[in-house]
Every structure is written in C-alpha cells, then in structure tokens.
Amino acid sequence: MTHSPLGKDILRNFVVEVCSSPTNWIMTDYAEEFITSVREEVGPEGHVIGAVSGGVDSTVAAVLMNKAIGDRFHAVMVDNGCLRKDEATKVLKRLREDCGINLTCIDASQLFLGKLKVSAFLPFFAWGLFLFHPLPSVTSPPPPTPTPSRALRSSF
C-alpha cells in the first residue's frame, strides 16, 4: 500500500466502495469490547492458554488478553529451531518485559529439527509466498533444479 502510487486510494476504494465497509469505527471500541467479552467468558478465576509467535496478530491478541485477565493468561511460544537468529529471545523480551505478558518459551528445536528428513530441498526455506535459497559456498555443488513434480506448491 505505501509502496504503490495511490496505494491508500486503491485500498480505500476496495474497502469502502467495493466491500461497503463502514468508516465510522474506532479501534479502541473493538479492543474494549473484546476485553469485556473475555472477562465475561473467563470469569473471575478462569485461566486461558494462548499460542504466540511474536508476530503482529498474536502479539496484539496477547496484549489484549493480558489487559483482560492479567497473569491468568498464559502465553506459550514454541521455538521450533526455524526462527530467525535470536528471534525467540527478542520476542521473550518484548512480550515479557515491554508488554508484561506471562510468556513461556518452549525450546523444541531439537525435536523439530531432528524430525526433518534430509532431501535435495533441505537448503530451501519457504517464507510466505516466496522461496529462498542460501547462496552456495565455493565448494558446494549447485542446488538441484526443481522439476514440476517436485516443486513446492502454495495451497492458495
């Protein structure tokens, strides 16, 4: 949106004109409604467990849950060994120290990485809709050329 000429206008046209979405809402209203709803659903003594990844969606959800029920919200993050370098540590700091979230990080990297099968595609990493391959070193053989039958496919 920000990298396209008239990106905001295109988005507004789609959201307002095509989808007929109202423009008179206020985000804090939604947050307060959610917090009230959680308090009613969980009650004064209930606890909630929620998974977080450190991304925007799960972080916002964790912050709202924390505002709703405090330490009775138990956030869990699983480090599967495929995160960016130091990402688990950064997420722990941000959510625990900066946001006050009751967060437990489970290091399951050995379990996950131990279950990976060695294949010609092991050096490939899927990220969103893109496929990245680390640059080969001088002594590494070139990566195999994917054939249509072996290529990774998106489900959407």
Tally of structural domains, the chain = 1
Overall pTM > 0.75: no
Residue 141 belongs to some domain of the structure? no
- Summarize pLDDT for 40-77 with one digit per residue, the tens: 999 999 999 999 998 899 999 999 999 999 999 999 99
Triad 33, 34, 40: Cα angle to 5°? 90
Residue 16 belongs to some domain of the structure? no
Residue 128 belongs to some domain of the structure? no
Query: 106 near 86, Cβ under 8 Å?
Result: no
Residue 151 belongs to some domain of the structure? no
Triad 48, 66, 102: Cα angle to 5°? 75
* CATH number of the domain within which 67 lies: 3.40.50.620
Backbone φ and ψ for 76, nearest 5 degrees, come out as -130, 135
- H helix or E strand, kind and range, residue 131: strand 130-132
Residue 152 belongs to some domain of the structure? no
Residue 3 belongs to some domain of the structure? no
Residue 68 belongs to some domain of the structure? yes
Dist CA 30 CA 32 (whole Å): 5
pLDDT in tens, the chain (156 residues): 677 888 888 888 988 899 988 888 787 788 999 999 999 999 999 999 999 998 899 999 999 999 999 999 999 999 988 888 899 999 999 999 999 999 999 999 888 888 776 554 555 554 444 444 444 444 545 555 554 444 444 443
Whole domain around residue 102: which residue ranges?
27-119
